[in-house]
């Protein structure tokens, strides 16, 4: 098979802070199907090469503005960039046009069999247009709030969303809530047909195997941090609320060690808010550094909240933490309850109903401090085994099976059947 991934988030260079899940998924596909020709098309950036090879994958980056330094729409993420600077919206037509042009060229030149579009908007729209001109099949991957965008487009939004979903061979959603949003565009008569080709699967877990051995991690009992958080440093991740809850603990005379890993648009303001608290900001972590952070941290915290319509999907770091044998605090906005393994992992999850209730948040953290190392290890042993399903080496086989039209794969099914 000749496959083309379309995405707007992708590492620009080695050590970049951009989320690598598209690269990880494509790499897992290539590992599982080494004879397949896998290409990736993503936006260019002044710091990135226009063409390169990574893990046997052909990476192409389309230029959408000249001079290159004006390309400020895509990284770190399109919606937050426009929110901070609405003038960047003027780049959207150029972005769409040049992505379409590049995708059409690659599909024709490489005789692509399937387009895999990450995000329904804008990549899904580009895939649809290329498909209409070339007859190439495509699948869609919905991550967070990209389908909601269509509801804000007067007159054309809802019909366009329906057209894209109808035309796709498959619609992958990272959680059941996103699948429900997709189905909400359709009348009852068509919902079952759309549900049958909608599949709920999160993005997978990947860390360097030598640094992500669950037995080694669970055996680490000398904790560097009592509480840890790893995510993009943005409002929807609830990092500010985590800092406030730790501040509440400190005001009650509670001693703790906390580490926050990641980077993002709100880093400076969050560091200012944490000034004087002793919270350590570790920056963006990958590979060995990320594995060490999990190993050295007793409890991992994921207090995501909806932010101006930019909803959470399912944090990959949350899956990584549970696979690493961590007891986690997770808000309802992380959608952790929507995993089919929920009943098996619930004992390892302290569900935070409202992260904005700082008193409640602080009380949860204080209760966690009473857990012994032995209780943690016995509670999380089953969780680690269940979450192993989401290692990319395993999960990619489910994705491939669904794309090839088979629902007979362990652990997953169409949305209609699993609801």
pLDDT at residue number 270: 94
Percent of the chain with pLDDT over 70: 91
Q: Which of 157-171, 226-240, 266-280 has the highest mean pLDDT?
A: 157-171
| Mean pLDDT, the chain, whole residue set | 88
DSSP 279: P
Q: What is residue 309's predicted lDDT score, i.e. its pLDDT?
A: 54
pLDDT at site 308: 59
Per residue in 352-365, pLDDT tens?
989 999 999 999 99
Quickly state the pLDDT bin for 16 (edges 50, 70, 90). Answer: confident
Burial of residue 325 (number of CB atoms within 10 Å: 0-12, 13-18, 19+): buried
Residue 209 confidence class, pLDDT cut points 50, 70, 90:
very low
Q: What is the pLDDT averaged over residues 152-177?
A: 91
Highest mean pLDDT among 51-60, 216-225, 290-299: 51-60
* Continuous segment of H or E residues that includes residue 216: helix 214-218
Helix or strand or coil: residue 401?
A: helix
pLDDT at 12: 95
Q: Can you list the domains of the chain with their CATH numbers?
A: 2-203+392-418 (3.40.50.2000), 209-390 (3.40.50.2000)
Q: What is the pLDDT of residue 208?
A: 54
How far apart (Å, rounded) are the C-alpha atoms in residues 409 and 401? 7
300-325: pLDDT as tens digits: 999 998 765 555 678 889 999 999 88
Specify the pTM.
Answer: 0.85
Task: Examine residue 143 and say whether the peptide bond preceding it is cis (omega within 30 degrees of 0).
Answer: no
Residues 120-136: tens digit of each pLDDT: 999 999 999 999 999 99
Cα–Cα distance, 376 to 364 (Å, whole number): 15
At residue 418, the 3 state secondary structure works out as helix
SS3 (DSSP) at 86? helix
Distance of alpha carbon 201 from alpha carbon 390, whole angstroms? 9
Q: Which of 192-201, 227-236, 408-417 has the lowest mean pLDDT?
A: 408-417
Return the top range by mean pLDDT from 167-171, 177-181, 312-316: 167-171
CB contact at 8 A, 286 and 16: no
In the predicted model, is pLDDT for residue 8 greater than 50?
A: yes
**Bond preceding residue 122 cis, omega within 30 of 0:** yes
Q: How far apart are CA 269 and CA 101, in angstroms?
A: 39
Phi, psi of 17 (to 5 degrees): -85, 0
């Amino acid at each position: 098979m000749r496959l083309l991934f379309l995405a707007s988030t992708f590492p620009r260079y080695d050590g970049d802070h951009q989320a690598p899940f598209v690269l990880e998924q494509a790499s897992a596909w290539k590992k599982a199907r080494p004879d397949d020709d896998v290409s990736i098309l993503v936006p260019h950036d002044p710091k990135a090469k226009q063409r390169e090879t990574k893990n046997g994958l052909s990476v192409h980056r389309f230029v959408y503005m000249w001079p290159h330094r004006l390309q400020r729409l895509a990284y770190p993420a399109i919606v937050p960039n426009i929110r901070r600077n609405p003038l960047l919206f003027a780049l959207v037509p150029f972005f769409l046009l040049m992505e379409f042009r590049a995708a059409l060229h690659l599909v024709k030149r490489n005789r692509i069999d399937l387009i895999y579009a990450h995000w329904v908007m804008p990549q899904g729209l580009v895939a649809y247009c290329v498909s209409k001109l070339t007859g190439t099949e495509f699948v869609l991957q919905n991550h967070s709030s990209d389908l909601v965008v269509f509801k804000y487009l007067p007159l054309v939004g809802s019909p366009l969303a329906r057209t894209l979903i109808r035309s796709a061979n498959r619609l992958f959603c990272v959680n059941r809530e996103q699948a429900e949003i997709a189905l909400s565009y359709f009348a009852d008569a068509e919902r079952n047909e759309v549900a049958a080709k909608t599949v709920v699967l999160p993005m997978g877990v990947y860390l360097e195997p030598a640094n992500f051995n669950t037995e080694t991690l669970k055996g680490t009992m000398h904790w560097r941090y009592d509480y840890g958080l790893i995510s993009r440093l943005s409002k929807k991740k609830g990092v500010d609320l985590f800092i406030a809850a730790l501040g509440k603990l400190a005001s009650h005379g509670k001693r703790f060690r906390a580490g926050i890993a990641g980077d993002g648009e709100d880093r400076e303001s969050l560091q200012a808010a944490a000034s004087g608290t002793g919270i350590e900001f570790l920056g963006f972590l990958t590979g060995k550094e990320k594995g060490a952070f999990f190993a050295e941290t007793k409890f991992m915290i994921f207090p995501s909240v909806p932010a101006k319509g930019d909803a959470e999907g399912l944090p990959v770091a949350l899956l990584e933490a549970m696979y690493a044998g961590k007891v986690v605090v997770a808000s309802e906005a992380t959608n952790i309850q929507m995993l089919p393994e929920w009943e098996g992992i619930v004992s390892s999850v302290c569900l935070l109903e409202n992260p904005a209730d700082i008193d409640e948040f602080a009380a949860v953290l204080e209760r966690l401090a009473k857990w012994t190392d032995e209780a943690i290890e016995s509670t999380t042993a089953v969780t680690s085994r269940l979450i192993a399903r989401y290692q990319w080496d395993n999960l990619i086989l489910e994705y491939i099976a669904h794309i090839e039209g088979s629902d007979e794969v362990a652990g997953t099914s169409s949305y209609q059947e699993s609801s």
